[in-house]
């Protein structure tokens, strides 16, 4: 690997492309790294450098990012308690470019920003997303859980009774469930999930994109056992498999039986046995058998 990621020619192209961007006035919602400081787009860096000012959840935290990239733009504190205060909104001019960032990830996703975005919309100020890192999507992409249908719920209620009621209302959800959780509540949350959901498949992600990034996969009971023996530290994302409908459950049970048959019988014999037993088209079982064999 070359010492320099970008050759002088590529660096020149990047700078030229950034200078050619026709940025309209408005508020830009800029995603920042969730852990690894390199997880930020070139376009995001360009916006942060040219903005009149940047509204940040925690200016001290954001200053570290700005110092690392040599960004001199003024930072203004903008958090859930002052988003629409006159001290913040009076700074916004319809003819200027502004940026909104949170401590990590995409603003407004379990982070402040919703109020100021809506204030801008009510005052005819355009909003532009600059996409980037998102802990929930990063976790889902590497979890091995179904991603064709999923719902992100952010942080669960901290109080036990409220958390139980919240989880009970999700019992029939068929898509993958995604939650954020703090280390001091992780065990309690996993215990509640086991009681309410049963021993579903689970993936617990810790410290995403950071040095001690960790993915633990298995049933909820296995996760509970692991983190009972290993004190939870860092930031967590929990993914739980959705509720299984009767038809889906039956199909999964058939494929589980197929997997067991393939251990002791030939592919042809296994397909024939299950096709006759359940009256399912041989081609469907044969295709699945080939996948399992691989």
Q: What percent of the chain has pLDDT over 90?
A: 67
- Residue 5's pLDDT is what? 78
Q: Please give the residue that has the higher pLDDT: either 83 or 293.
A: 83
Q: Residue 70 and residue 55: Cα distance in Å, rounded?
A: 17
- How many structural domains is the chain composed of? 3
**Domain-embedded: residue 2:** no
How high is the pLDDT of residue 249?
Answer: 54
**Residue 1 lies inside a defined structural domain of this protein:** no
Residues forming a β-bridge with 32: 105
**Per the domain annotation, does 24 fall within a domain?**
yes
Assess if residue 288 is contained within a domain: yes
The answer to whether residues 186 and 203 belong to one domain is yes
List, in sequence order, every beta strand (DSSP E) within 175-242.
176-181, 201-206, 214-219, 236-240
User: Based on the domain organization, do 147 and 200 belong to the same domain?
Assistant: yes
Matching residue, tokens 């852990």: 35
* 235 & 250 share domain: no
Q: Out of 38-47, 59-68, 254-263, which region has the weakest mean confidence (pLDDT)?
A: 254-263
Q: Is the pLDDT of residue 245 over 70?
A: no
| 154/272: higher pLDDT | 154
What pLDDT is recorded for position 246? 57
Identify whether 3 is part of a domain. Answer: no
**Do 24 and 121 share a domain, yes or no?**
yes
What is the reported pLDDT for 19?
87
**Mean pLDDT value of segment 245-274:** 76
pLDDT (tens digit, 9 = 90+) per residue, 196-240? Answer: 988 899 999 999 999 999 999 999 999 999 999 999 999 999 999
Residues 214 and 226 in one domain: yes
Mean pLDDT (whole number) for 64-80:
95
State the residue for tokens 């203004």.
Answer: 76
Q: Which of 86-95, 151-160, 268-277 has the lowest mean pLDDT?
A: 268-277
Q: Which residue has the higher pLDDT, 204 or 290?
A: 204
23 and 41, same domain (yes or no): yes
Please check whether residues 234 and 271 belong to one and the same domain.
no
Strand partners, 101: 56
The CATH number linked to 112 is 3.40.1010.10
Of the residues 86, 104, 132, the one at which a domain ends: 132
Please count the CA atoms within 13 angstroms of the CA of 273 that sit on its side-chain side.
Answer: 16
Is the domain of 17 the same as that of 65? yes
The angle subtended at Cα 80 by Cα 76 and Cα 82, nearest 5°, is 55
How far is the CA of 126 from the CAs of 21, 221, 286, in angstroms? 17, 47, 54
Q: Which residue has the higher pLDDT, 22 or 274?
A: 22
* Domain housing 236: 136-240
Question: Does 262 map to a domain?
Answer: yes
Q: Last residue of a domain, which of 74, 102, 132?
A: 132
Are 20 and 124 in the same domain? Answer: yes
Residue 154 maps to a domain? yes
110 and 124, same domain (yes or no)? yes
Q: Are residue 12 and residue 126 in the same domain, yes or no?
A: yes
CATH for 221: 3.30.950.10
Question: In the listed set 132, 166, 192, which residue is the last one of a domain according to the structure?
Answer: 132
pLDDT at 1 over 50: no
pLDDT tens-place string over residues 156-173:
999 999 999 999 999 889
């Amino acid at each position: 690997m070359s010492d320099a990621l970008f050759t002088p020619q590529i660096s020149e192209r990047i700078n030229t492309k950034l200078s050619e961007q026709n940025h309209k006035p408005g508020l830009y919602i800029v995603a920042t790294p969730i852990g690894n400081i390199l997880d930020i787009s070139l376009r995001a860096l360009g916006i942060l450098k040219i903005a009149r000012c940047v509204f940040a959840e925690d200016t001290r935290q954001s200053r570290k990012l700005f110092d690392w990239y040599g960004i001199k733009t003024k930072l203004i504190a903008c958090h859930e308690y002052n988003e629409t205060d006159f001290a913040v909104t009076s700074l916004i001019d319809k003819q200027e470019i502004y940026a909104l960032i949170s401590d990590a990830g995409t603003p407004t996703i379990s982070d402040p920003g919703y109020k100021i975005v809506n204030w801008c919309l009510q005052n005819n100020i355009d909003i532009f997303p600059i996409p980037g890192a998102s802990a929930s999507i990063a976790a889902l992409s590497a979890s091995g859980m179904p991603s064709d249908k999923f719902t992100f719920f952010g942080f669960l209620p901290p109080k036990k009774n409220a958390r139980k009621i919240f989880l009970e209302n999700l019992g029939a959800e068929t898509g993958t469930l995604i939650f954020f959780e703090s280390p001091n509540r992780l065990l309690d949350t996993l215990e509640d999930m086991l009681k309410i959901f049963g021993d579903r498949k689970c993936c617990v992600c810790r410290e995403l994109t950071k040095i001690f990034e960790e993915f633990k996969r298995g049933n909820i009971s296995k996760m509970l056992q692991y983190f009972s023996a290993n004190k939870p530290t860092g930031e967590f994302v929990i993914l739980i498999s959705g509720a299984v409908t009767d038809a889906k459950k039956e199909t999964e049970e058939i494929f589980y039986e197929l997997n067991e048959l393939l251990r002791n019988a030939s592919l042809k014999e296994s397909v024939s046995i299950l096709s006759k037993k359940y009256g399912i088209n041989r081609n469907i079982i044969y295709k699945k058998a080939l996948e399992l064999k691989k």
